[in-house]
């Protein structure tokens, strides 16, 4: 059935039994769910027993490529890591740029599914059809930079290496998967799932040629695509600043999160901006495989305990560990970023946990002697000390490692706990951005910008506009970002940042797989994936209610006090209107559950039947 694109094989590894098997990828599944996120949620839906504890051996860690991964095409060196999330209890995934992506395809697999738990720490080594588990006692507890060096030394510089850091090993619920010193993926605790399996690292090396339907055409189309990217008006600036340019943009538009999202404007934004980075800190450039618009900003820390270290920085990291903590020092924001990378913990959630704790202290809801340190906004040193307690799960750090939702349930302050469905919100304040708030709230993994970067479109439509058209645009965006790019598996930045036309992707898919996909069909696939993810959440949470699609109370209750939009806050009435239109447009009922007719239309009739068999009543 496969003429190219897919290898048609999935590698299954059971760490408990120390066994592996190679399974055929079902052609129908590939056509309907494609790969990456689509394939991952299909596997989790079909195979995971409802109610599985995310940190139990029964949970599955899925590493999934798509039919475009691994070819020399614009920005196609990406890989999806997915699982049931220990942070949210729902579906979780992340997208990481790494050599492991193309090595997996060259080894002959579209995906690797790991289950069980090894008796002791191991490294899974995949070299074509040779699969080994190597002891990793000597690597357990070591930071991700050291482990990258040691594994490269042993397996070669071209090996694809994915790993967890010591923070994830301690089962902090927001451990990420790390690769190549600064590539991170799986915000909803996918690294923690990997660590819970005693799996320190996965090393992948392949020697096969990835099957392609029309290799010559693929080569020609790729060359044209690379040329178009390079000719883009914004190309030079992008390569100089990458995502860091967003600090200035967010400040101008009052969406730069500051002081735990109390404000969207930061008085010291200049000191942590892309321009400051470029002038003072940037020393090298890095990128994902096959990318000709490399955006990895390698910077050198100039002051503090990590003086002289290098770290790869991005907008989200610096906003959440800078302005959101009241820190106007690039050195401290970078230090916290580096610490999170070494420990393998998510920078966005770390920034949110630190900010929430600082606010609890400020509001006298948490006595400082409980923390064992004096915590003030803007104090990088104290924030680092607290991050260390979290990573080591020492003292009060034990509780903080559970994430903002659990913390606010235990200590109060739920109205300013900045998460949605348990996932801490990425770095865009929404006091004056109702469409972006809706995008965060309906993102399928919790409040991550991956599916939700609606803010730029919303500014064009008008911040105050509350209309069905705005909701339709949001759906279109989710179909592209959360569907096409996460299932075909390619970086979305050529499209969103440099205007690379979406029309390229059906052409690439045709040349790679031999199959015709129109953009319309790809969007229908995206809807299928969204529906299945929503059903997975509903199954794991025993139902659904529209409150689960609400942003935090703070944005409704407490207006901005600084910047050009001071006085702005969200209107609940307007938000509810948008949410109802959103449900309607998706074919979901007023609780936010897909209707039976919608599921049937998407080929998911069996999902409706299974939910009903478990006692959930779905509307027709
Ligand atoms: C991603 C999220 C992001 S998104 C950032 S910065 W960004 C944070 N990076 C972290 C980090 O670094 N270290 C760490 N310890 N934790 C981190 N958590 C945060 O994780 C990433 C780029 C970026 S940089 C973005 S927007 C785009 N994301 C893409 C995506 O999601 N899908 C896709 N098809 N293409 C994308 N291209 C861009 O990739 P998560 P990466 Mg990442 C140090 O994984 O879980 O989705 O969270 O993978 O290789 O680092 O590239 O301003
Ligand atoms: Fe990686 Fe950046 Fe290139 Fe995307 S644009 S593939 S994130 S280097």
207 contacts 233 by C-beta, under 8 angstroms? no
288 lines ligand 2 (CB under 6 A): yes
Q: b vs e for 106-145, b when ≥16 Cβ sit within 10 Å of the residue's Cβ?
A: bbbbbbbbbbbbbeebbbbbbbeeebebbebeebbebbbb
Distance 398 CA to ligand 2 centre (A): 35
Ligand 2, atom 6: closest residue by C-alpha: 75
pLDDT digits (tens, 9 = 90+) for 19-62: 999 999 999 999 999 999 999 999 999 999 999 999 999 999 99
- Joined together, the tokens standing for residue 553 give 């109370």
- Joined together, the tokens standing for residue 494 give 């050529």
Alpha carbon distance 384, 313 (integer Å): 17
320 lines ligand 1 (CB under 6 A): no
Closest CA to 405 of 430, 392, 422, 380: 422
Alpha carbon distance 592, 580 (integer Å): 9
Atom of ligand 1 nearest to the CA of 343: 15
477 lines ligand 1 (CB under 6 A): no
Kindly report the CATH number that applies to the domain delimited by 235-414.
1.10.569.10
Closest CA to 50 of 403, 531, 535, 402: 535
Name the residue of 232, 240, 287 to mutate for ligand 2: max ligand atoms within 8 A of Cβ. Answer: 287
Distance 190 CA to ligand 2 centre (A): 21
Name the residue of 73, 102, 247, 347 to mutate for ligand 1: max ligand atoms within 8 A of Cβ. Answer: 347
Distance 511 CA to ligand 1 centre (A): 28
Provide the H-helix boundaries in 200-273: 215-230, 235-241, 246-252
Q: b vs e for 46-85, b when ≥16 Cβ sit within 10 Å of the residue's Cβ?
A: eebeeebebbbbbbbbbbbbbbbbbbebbbbbbbbbbbbb
Using alpha carbons, list the distances in angstroms from residue 176 to 151, 188, 573: 18, 8, 37
CATH T-level assignment (fold) for domain 434-499+518-613: 1.10.599
446 lines ligand 2 (CB under 6 A): no
94 lines ligand 1 (CB under 6 A): yes
Ligand nearest to the CA of 79: 1
97 lines ligand 2 (CB under 6 A): yes
Give the mean pLDDT of 502-528. Answer: 97
C-beta neighbour count of 398 within 10 angstroms: 14
Q: What count of Cα atoms within 13 Å lies in the side-chain half-sphere of residue 108?
A: 15
The length of the chain, given as a count of residues: 620
pLDDT higher than 90, residue 138: yes
Ligand 2, atom 1: closest residue by C-alpha: 288
pLDDT digits (tens, 9 = 90+) for 454-506: 999 999 999 999 999 999 999 999 999 999 999 999 999 999 999 999 999 99
Structurally, what CATH architecture does the domain formed by 9-205 represent? Answer: 4-Layer Sandwich (3.60)
Query: Which secondary-structure segment (H or E) carries 527?
Result: helix 519-541
445 contacts 88 by C-beta, under 8 angstroms? yes
Reported confidence tier of residue 366, pLDDT bands at 50, 70, 90 = very high
Atom of ligand 2 nearest to the CA of 243: 2
Reported confidence tier of residue 397, pLDDT bands at 50, 70, 90 = very high
Give the mean pLDDT of 81-104. Answer: 98
First to last CA, the chain: 35
C-beta neighbour count of 557 within 10 angstroms: 12
Q: How many helices (H) and strands (E) does the chain have?
A: 27, 17
- Joined together, the tokens standing for residue 386 give 């607290």
What pLDDT, on the 0 to 100 scale, is given for residue 1?
A: 74
* Cβ neighbours for 327, distance < 8 A, ≥ 6 positions apart: 272, 321, 333, 336, 378, 379, 380, 383
Sequential DSSP letters for 138-166:
TTTT--HHHHHHHHHHHH-TTSEEEE--H
Distance 233 CA to ligand 2 centre (A): 17
Ligand nearest to the CA of 391: 1
293 lines ligand 1 (CB under 6 A): no
What pLDDT, on the 0 to 100 scale, is given for residue 454?
A: 96
Atom of ligand 1 nearest to the CA of 97: 49
Alpha carbon distance 403, 350 (integer Å): 8
Alpha carbon distance 148, 181 (integer Å): 7
Rg (CA), the chain: 23
How does strand 122-127 pair with strand 199-205? parallel
pLDDT digits (tens, 9 = 90+) for 243-257: 999 999 999 999 999
291 lines ligand 2 (CB under 6 A): yes
427 contacts 324 by C-beta, under 8 angstroms? yes
Ligand nearest to the CA of 296: 2
Reported confidence tier of residue 280, pLDDT bands at 50, 70, 90 = very high
- Joined together, the tokens standing for residue 130 give 């040779």
The yes-or-no answer to whether 9-205 and 434-499+518-613 have a common fold is no
Atom of ligand 1 nearest to the CA of 312: 43
pLDDT digits (tens, 9 = 90+) for 149-181: 999 999 999 999 999 999 999 999 999 999 999
What pLDDT, on the 0 to 100 scale, is given for residue 134?
A: 98
pLDDT digits (tens, 9 = 90+) for 555-593: 999 999 999 999 999 999 999 999 999 999 999 999 999
Alpha carbon distance 160, 188 (integer Å): 22
How does strand 130-135 pair with strand 61-64? unpaired
213 contacts 513 by C-beta, under 8 angstroms? yes
Give the mean pLDDT of 84-109. Answer: 98
pLDDT higher than 80, residue 80: yes
Burial class of residue 19 (count of CB atoms within 10 Å of its CB; 0-12, 13-18, 19+): exposed
Alpha carbon distance 272, 535 (integer Å): 41
Ligand 1, atom 43: closest residue by C-alpha: 182
Query: pTM value?
Result: 0.97
pLDDT digits (tens, 9 = 90+) for 351-364: 999 999 999 999 99
Using alpha carbons, list the distances in angstroms from residue 321 to 182, 313, 333: 15, 11, 5
Sign of the CA dihedral running 255, 260, 262, 268: negative
What pLDDT, on the 0 to 100 scale, is given for residue 75?
A: 85
Using alpha carbons, list the distances in angstroms from residue 1 to 33, 40, 58, 91, 487: 15, 21, 31, 29, 19
- The average confidence (pLDDT) of the chain is 97
Give the mean pLDDT of 64-68. Answer: 98
Alpha carbon distance 421, 552 (integer Å): 10
340 lines ligand 1 (CB under 6 A): yes
Domain-wise residue ranges, the chain: 9-205, 235-414, 434-499+518-613
Distance 449 CA to ligand 1 centre (A): 10
Distance 491 CA to ligand 2 centre (A): 6
């Amino acid at each position: 059935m496969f003429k190219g694109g897919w290898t048609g094989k999935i590698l299954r590894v059971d760490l408990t039994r120390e066994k592996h098997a190679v399974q055929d990828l079902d052609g129908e599944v590939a056509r309907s769910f494609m790969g990456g996120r689509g394939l991952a949620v299909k596997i989790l839906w079909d195979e995971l027993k409802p109610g599985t504890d995310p940190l139990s051996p029964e949970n599955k860690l899925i590493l999934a490529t798509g039919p475009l991964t691994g070819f020399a095409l614009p920005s196609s060196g990406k890989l999806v890591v997915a699982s049931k999330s220990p942070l949210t209890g729902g579906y979780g995934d992340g997208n990481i740029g790494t050599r492991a992506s193309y090595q997996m395809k060259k080894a002959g697999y579209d995906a690797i599914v790991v289950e069980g738990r090894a008796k002791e720490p191991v490294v899974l080594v995949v070299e074509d059809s040779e699969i080994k588990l190597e002891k990793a006692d000597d690597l357990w507890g070591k930071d991700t930079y050291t482990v990258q060096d040691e594994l490269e030394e042993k397996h070669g510089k071209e090996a694809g290496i994915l790993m967890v850091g010591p923070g994830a090993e301690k089962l902090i619920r927001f451990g990420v998967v790390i690769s190549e010193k600064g590539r991170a993926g799986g915000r909803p605790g996918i690294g923690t799932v990997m660590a819970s399996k005693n799996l320190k690292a996965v090393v992948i090396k392949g020697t096969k040629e990835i099957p392609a339907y029309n290799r010559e055409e693929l080569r020609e189309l790729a060359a044209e695509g690379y040329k178009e990217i390079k000719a883009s008006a914004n190309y030079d600036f992008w390569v100089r600043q990458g995502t860091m340019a967003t600090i200035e943009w967010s400040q101008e538009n009052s969406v730069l999160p500051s002081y735990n999202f109390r404000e969207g404007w930061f008085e010291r934004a200049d000191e942590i901006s892309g321009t400051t980075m470029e002038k003072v800190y940037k020393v090298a450039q890095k990128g994902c495989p096959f990318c000709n618009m490399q955006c990895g900003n390698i910077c050198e820390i100039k002051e503090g305990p990590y003086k002289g270290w290098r770290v790869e920085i991005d907008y989200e990291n610096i906003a959440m560990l800078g302005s959101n903590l009241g820190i106007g020092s690039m050195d401290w924001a970078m230090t916290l970023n580096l610490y999170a990378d070494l420990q393998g913990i998510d920078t966005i959630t770390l920034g949110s946990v630190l900010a929430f704790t600082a606010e609890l202290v400020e509001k006298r809801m948490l006595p400082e002697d409980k923390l064992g340190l004096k915590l003030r906004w803007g104090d990088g040193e104290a924030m680092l000390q607290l991050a260390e307690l979290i990573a080591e799960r020492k003292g009060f750090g034990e509780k903080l490692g559970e994430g903002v939702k659990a913390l606010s349930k235990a200590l109060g302050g739920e109205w300013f706990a900045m998460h949605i469905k348990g996932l801490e919100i990425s770095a865009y304040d929404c006091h004056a951005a109702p469409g972006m708030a809706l995008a965060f709230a309906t993102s399928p993994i919790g409040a991550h910008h991956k599916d939700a970067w609606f803010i730029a479109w919303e500014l064009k439509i008008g911040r105050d506009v509350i209309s069905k058209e705005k909701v339709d645009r949001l759906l279109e965006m989710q179909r592209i970002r959360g569907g096409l790019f996460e299932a075909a598996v390619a970086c979305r930045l050529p499209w969103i940042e440099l205007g690379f036309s979406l029309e390229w992707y059906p052409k690439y898919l045709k040349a790679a797989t031999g199959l015709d996909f129109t953009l319309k069909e790809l969007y229908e696939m995206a809807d299928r994936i969204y529906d299945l993810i929503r059903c997975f959440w509903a199954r794991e949470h025993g139902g659904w209610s529209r409150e689960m699609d609400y942003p935090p109370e703070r944005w409704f209750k407490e207006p901005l006090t600084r910047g050009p939009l001071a006085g702005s806050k969200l209107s609940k009435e307007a938000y509810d209107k948008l949410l109802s239109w959103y449900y309607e447009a998706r074919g979901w009922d007023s609780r936010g559950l897909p209707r039976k007719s919608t599921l049937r239309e998407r080929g998911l009739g069996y999902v409706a039947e299974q939910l009903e068999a478990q006692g959930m009543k779905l509307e027709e």
